[in-house]
Chain A
């Protein structure tokens, strides 16, 4: 069965600091990997996704993530965070060949100005 582990429950940063959120997954087959963001009071929106090809994927708002197959990891990064990045971030895996899309428990990011 698939599973997703996010290592950081709550991250607090100052504006302009760099961000890295960890995500590890457990799945033996070909994976589709996602990072979603949920701003306060809103639904989930896609930040970026990996299906195949270049393991370094770029998403919206300056976010990027690197797929490292040997480590079963898909960490999210941003060189310089802004106050508006305050949100909850979810890593997800799956959704292909009849498998369900499974989410991690989420990481709350708080950015102070």
Chain B
């Protein structure tokens, strides 16, 4: 049981380049999240999804796009990377309707992105 898997684990981009981060979960969770973690800022929510085909903006959505075409995958895209997007990105998933009281989130290992 892999849980939540993020790829890639590390990436260096030049300003203006684009990339997609992939998050995959095998727990049949409905909800998926993308956070960025910066020193002193905690985890800030970028976008999230409450089901296949749905997405919603979080606290810091600018400069990012997401898609949830399949229930198990949640993609985070950077169309034109900027140095301010240097961060550690975490994906998480939670919630199955079979256990509606349990919204514990499971996290991936993180992606360290540097934009130069």
Contact = CB atoms under 8 A, between A and B. Distances in A.
Contacts of A92: 105
B92 interface: yes
A106 B94 contact: no
B31 interface: yes
Given A43-B90, A51-B101, A100 B48 contact: yes
Interface residues of A, number: 25
Contacts of B41: 105
B38 to A, nearest CB: 10
Q: Sort chain B's interface into a size bin.
A: 20 to 34
A48 to B, nearest CB: 10
Which residue, of B44, B100, B105, B108, has the highest number of chain A Cβ atoms within 10 A?
B105
Contacts, number: 65
Contacts of A100: 33, 45, 48, 56, 58
Contact of A52 (B48, B59, B101, B108): B101
A52 B40 CA distance: 31
A13 B35 CA distance: 29
Contacts of B102: 51
Interface of A: 6, 9, 32, 34, 42-46, 49, 51-52, 90, 92, 94-96, 98, 100-106
A51 B94 CA distance: 14
Nearest to A6: B42
B109 interface: yes
4 A-B pairs with the lowest CB-CB distances in the bound complex, closest first: A95-B103, A105-B42, A103-B43, A106-B42
B58 A95 contact: no
Interface in B9-63: 31, 33, 35, 40-45, 48, 50, 56, 58-59
